[in-house]
A and B are shown apart, each in its own frame.
Chain A
Amino acid sequence: MLEIKNLHVKLEEEDKQILKGVNLSVEAGKVHAIMGPNGSGKSTLSYVLSGRDGYEVTEGSATLEGTDLLELEPEERAAAGLFLAFQYPVEIPGVGNMTFLRTAVNAQRKARGQDEMSAADFLKEVRARAKDLKIDAEMLKRPVNVGFSGGEKKRNEILQMAMLEPRMCILDETDSGLDVDAMKLVSDGVNALRSEGRGFLVITHYQRLLDHIQPDVVHIMANGQIIKTGGPELALEVEKNGYADILNEVA
């Protein structure tokens, strides 16, 4: 589903190479996790895939079901089925959460040549999805993420994911800023979306999230490359011994 080959990325404004040949393949129906120390390039990978400005791809490729992602605008990537759950969801004063969701859903439908969702159908759908995530009517009315707690912001990300039904979901440190209960709620939301046709890439520092969202494959990233790949036991190893052993082992 998601194929990343030899991806090299540098910062646009300075001569700093962040990704130095990332190879990764996420199959439909699978959950891959990327772990790694600070500054290893995990978040950069998620930004480059979603099309954020400020990065320059110097080598390599990234495709989603054969479509070259790197050629597309961010909104085209979204329409192609890519979704990034932000580490720091953005606050948008003056834009109601509901308006935002509806605009996004209909923009994607339009891009795919589908009819817009009727207001009634949309409302019904949002209410059902929001209920599962314990998002109340008040939160739906408020401006996007404004005044939301850390947990509310992350639940709001998962609500967007549920409404947009992407093929490929990237979760960038979705566990940061969450207490135990919120982590459970968010994980349940993600697990409910796991399906045959959908791939997940879960970026995290800690094994804890992976207790809730159990990965099929775990990758360790360091210094802009994936240095080790294994099963869920690899995450446990990191939890126990830290990254130092793996880094030494590879070096």
Chain B
Amino acid sequence: MAVPDRRLSETDARLEGLRMPEGGWAAPARQDALARVQAMGLPQRRDEYWKFTRPDTLAQVEPPKAGLFHSDEAPMYDGIDRLRIVFVDGVFDAAQSDDLALEGVSIERLAEVGARDIHWAKDLYGTLEARGQVPVARPFAALNTAFAEDGVLIHVTGRPSRPINLVYMHQSESSDAILHNVIKVDAGAEATILESGPAAARFNKCTEVDIADTGRLHMVRSQGRDHERRAVTHIFARLGAESVFKAFTLTMNGVLTRNECVVELTGDDAVAHVAGACVGDGDFHHDDTVFVTHDAVNCESRQVFKKVLNNGATGVFQGKILVKAGAQKTDGYQISQSLLLDGDSQFLAKPELEIYADDVACSHGSTSGAIDEDALFYLRSRGVPEGPATDLLTLAFLGEALDEIENRDLAEHLLERLNNWLARRR
């Protein structure tokens, strides 16, 4: 059996190079996660779940080098009042970070409190990740739980007045960062988490989100523009009754990105929206893999993903809605669309519905297309040159995904960044 041997030897080689933080409340969870990843092995090219995205550079011992991207653009979310927590190549940077104090929320660093014996995060750390390993294995997430040296533990108890911005800066061409965040939202509490930056040459990030009944969490992330960076990220979210979870991701550039989002609706009347917009030009591979499980009555889920691909860029979408028996009155929606700006770009989509309840409304759709020539001519006939006209239509295409962001100021901010990105490429 050559294949399993190879998987095991490659997995062992990767794990050997990593150091597990010792002791503290997280130790048992880390050991369990190590056992999981050893049993599963890291993904191989032939794995069905990795059919469209090559895992080798994410799994190999050393990350390929990633050159740094220099931009004179203002920092992401500039002008938005926010609490900044800065990591540089995965290492916390106190000097650039704000004081981790904000009313209505407690913020701690995994590296600082990990050695304690008792912590609220103990019940969650690795727990939601482990639940998300069934029915599909997500070995990189287990690896993350086992070896993450830092990250943030955010407990939202009220309604903090401003968003928390996790800033992931990238300054070393060969950095390999692993961060693990845990976010717990109490009943009636509500917060917005912003994320930004490329983080490292290779970034493995895992975020576990637990939202109690009636809690609300908004996450908006922008993955940084370094062309050669690689990332494999996971979000595991568990939603209580009448809770709301909305996550949006903007990706501009990056040679390889795999974003997995696993959502479990466990309380009645919960709402989960997962959306993303990406633009890629040239050496760009972007994979959104989403798995939403409805396990309660009258829940709503939406997946809205838009990809603009140019010069041979590749977009991938694997999205699944699983409606368990008894999850009646489920409203599930899924759309993935690509705008292919040239003939060399490709979009690979695998939409899936699996339904075991009989009173549900689920729909899914996936499309690929070029710029609408009639619309382009119409704009040009009114005096708008081809380049700006194409940009206008491209932004209009992405708009439907950006509309998923509840905060309009944030949506406008992201739109502006996209507009600049497009303008620079003309």
Contacts and interface: CB of A to CB of B under 8 A. Distances in A.
Partners in one complex: yes
A74 B399 contact: no
A92 B377 contact: no
A124 interface: no
Contacts of B28: none
Contacts of A91: 375
Given A51-B380, A53-B377, A92-B378, A75 B397 contact: no
A164 B392 contact: no
A78 B373 CA distance: 18
B290 to A, nearest CB: 23
B386 A73 contact: yes
A95 B381 contact: no
A50 B382 CA distance: 10
Contacts of A111: 383, 385
B386 to A, nearest CB: 7
Contacts of A143: 396
A44 to B, nearest CB: 14
Interface string A67-96: 000000111011100011010011111110
Contacts of B399: 94
Given A73-B385, A78-B383, A99-B392, 9 more contacts: A73-B380, A75-B380, A75-B385, A83-B381, A92-B393, A94-B393, A94-B395, A94-B396, A108-B383
A140 to B, nearest CB: 15
Contacts of B382: 78, 100, 104, 107-108, 160, 164
Interface in A82-126: 83-84, 86, 89-95, 99-100, 103-105, 107-108, 111
B378 A89 contact: yes
A52 interface: yes
Interface residues of A, number: 31
Given A107-B384, A107-B385, A74 B396 contact: no
A104 B380 CA distance: 9
Given A53-B377, A86-B378, A164 B383 contact: yes
Interface residues of B, number: 23
Contacts of A107: 382-385, 388
Interface in A149-195: 160, 164
A95 B393 CA distance: 7
B334 to A, nearest CB: 19
25 contacts: A52-B377, A52-B381, A75-B380, A75-B383, A75-B384, A75-B386, A86-B378, A90-B375, A90-B377, A90-B378, A91-B375, A92-B375, A92-B396, A94-B399, A95-B392, A99-B392, A103-B384, A103-B388, A103-B392, A104-B382, A104-B383, A107-B385, A107-B388, A111-B383, A143-B396
A93 B377 CA distance: 15
Interface string B367-410: 00000111101111111111011001101110110000000000
Nearest to B400: A94
> 10 closest pairs, A vs B, by CB?
A94-B396, A78-B383, A104-B382, A108-B383, A74-B380, A90-B378, A94-B399, A107-B384, A107-B383, A75-B380
A92 B399 CA distance: 12
A53 B374 CA distance: 10
Q: For B382, B385, B392, which residue has the most chain A Cβ atoms within 10 angstroms? A: B382
Contacts of A89: 378
A90 B376 CA distance: 9
Interface of B: 372-375, 377-386, 388-389, 392-393, 395-397, 399-400
Given A53-B373, A73-B386, A75-B385, A104 B379 contact: yes
Main secondary structure of the interface of B (DSSP, over half): helix
Interface of A: 50-53, 73-75, 77-79, 83-84, 86, 89-95, 99-100, 103-105, 107-108, 111, 143, 160, 164
Contacts of A52: 377, 381
Contacts of A160: 382
Contacts of B395: 94
Contacts of A84: 381
Contacts of B379: 92, 100, 103-104
A161 B384 CA distance: 14
A94 B371 CA distance: 13
A190 to B, nearest CB: 17
Contacts of A104: 379, 382-384
Contacts of A75: 380-381, 383-386, 389
B418 to A, nearest CB: 13
A104 to B, nearest CB: 4
Contacts of A95: 392-393, 396
Nearest to A88: B374
Q: For B374, B395, B397, which residue has the most chain A Cβ atoms within 10 angstroms? A: B374
B292 to A, nearest CB: 25
B230 to A, nearest CB: 31
A100 B388 CA distance: 11
Contacts of A99: 392
Nearest to A82: B381
Contacts of A78: 380-383
A63 to B, nearest CB: 18
Nearest to A101: B382
Contacts of B383: 75, 78-79, 104-105, 107-108, 111, 164
A97 B273 CA distance: 28
Nearest to A112: B383
A93 B369 CA distance: 15
A83 to B, nearest CB: 8
A164 B372 CA distance: 23
Contacts of A92: 372, 375, 378-379, 393, 396
Contacts of B389: 75
